[in-house]
Amino acid sequence: MTDAVETKCVIIADEELPSGILANTAAILGITLGKQVPECVGQDVMDGSGCRHAGIISIPVPILKGNKDLLRELRRKLFEADNADLLVVDFSDVAQGCRVYSEYMQKARFTAEEEHVYLGLAIYGSKKKINKLTGSLPLLR
């Protein structure tokens, strides 16, 4: 289990996306975080009727709003040396435009980083660092 006092997870999404693509972006980022940090997912829970509920993430995951320029700049900062301990997951138009993963792998191989348009980012790690990077961003509502 993660230390919720010292650890934080946020998703930042482009608020200008249509709602379906925005929801898809958040879902994909969340699934990828769950794979990368499985200790964030709590154990299964039994309810008062004896029904099992699959474990969910054990820390809050606020979804913040930004735009494509903010996402690009934030991603750049996240890959600076002093943020190397943060887990960063990105989702771009390159991935979103593909129907199967093999197509994404091929397309990404021939697309320079500066050509990606980021739809969303997920960040996991030090609460202090994440707050410094995203603390002024409003919640997506």
Interhelix angle 68-78/127-134, nearest 10 degrees: 150
**Which one-letter DSSP state was computed for residue 97?**
T
Residue 104 maps to which CATH number? 3.40.1490.10
Q: For residue 2, is it within any domain?
A: no
Q: For residue 15, is it within any domain?
A: yes
Which residues span the domain enclosing 128? 7-134
The β-bridge partners of 13 are 65, 120
Report pLDDT digits (tens) over 23-67.
999 999 999 999 999 999 999 999 999 999 999 999 999 999 999
Look up residue 36 and give its amino acid. Q
Q: For residue 93, is it within any domain?
A: yes
What local confidence, expressed as pLDDT, does residue 5 receive?
76
What is the domain count for the chain?
A: 1
Is a pLDDT exceeding 60 seen at residue 1?
Answer: no
How many Cβ atoms sit within 10 Å of the Cβ of residue 49? 5
Q: For residue 139, is it within any domain?
A: no
Q: Write down the pTM of the prediction.
A: 0.91
Tokens of 83: 């943020």
Q: Could you tell me whether strands 7-14 and 63-66 are parallel, antiparallel, or unpaired per DSSP bridges?
A: parallel
Report pLDDT digits (tens) over 76-122.
999 999 999 999 999 999 999 999 999 999 999 999 999 999 999 99
Q: Which of 10, 3, 139 is nearest to 86 (CA)?
A: 10
Q: For residue 1, is it within any domain?
A: no
